[in-house]
């Protein structure tokens, strides 16, 4: 099965599809938007509060800072 698109129809179809897709995108969660670029300990306290009932030890602070550095460094071969 094939069909013919006339000039301008492809652009109209594209716009209709984009409008339809945009209408189904959920609004961003403000909690996630506020925390997504935070450091590891802040992220963990937010999303895993039941595991972080006490303040982090010096070792945890150090380890989290090392992991934060790794995640902000681009991979090189």
Number of domains composing the chain = 1
How many Å apart are CA 4 and CA 25, to the nearest integer?
31
What lies within 8 Å, CB to CB, of 76 at 6+ separation is none
Burial class of residue 43, CB neighbours in 10 A (0-12, 13-18, 19+):
middle
Q: What is the pLDDT of residues 20-31, one digit of tens each?
A: 776 776 777 777
**44 domain residue, yes or no:** yes
pTM above 0.85, yes or no: no
User: Picking from 2-6, 19-23, 73-77, which range would have the lowest pLDDT averaged per residue?
Assistant: 73-77
Which phi and psi angles does 10 have, rounded to 5°?
-65, -40
Q: Is the pLDDT of residue 9 over 80?
A: yes
Q: Which domain covers residue 54, as residue numbers?
A: 28-77
Look at residue 62 in the predicted model and tell me its pLDDT.
Answer: 96
Residue 20 covered by a domain: no
Integer CA distances (angstroms), 50 to 45, 57, 70, 73, in order: 8, 16, 26, 30
Looking at every residue in the chain, the average pLDDT score rounds to 83
At residue 18 the predicted structure's pLDDT band, cuts being 50, 70 and 90, is confident
Evaluate whether residue 68 is within a structural domain. yes
């Amino acid at each position: 099965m094939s069909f013919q698109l006339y000039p301008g129809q492809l652009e109209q179809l594209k716009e209709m599809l984009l409008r339809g897709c945009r209408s189904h995108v959920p609004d961003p969660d403000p909690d996630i938007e506020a925390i997504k670029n935070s450091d590891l300990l802040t992220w963990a306290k937010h999303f895993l509060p039941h595991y972080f009932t006490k303040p982090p030890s010096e070792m945890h602070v150090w380890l989290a800072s090392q992991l934060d550095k790794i995640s902000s460094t681009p991979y090189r071969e």
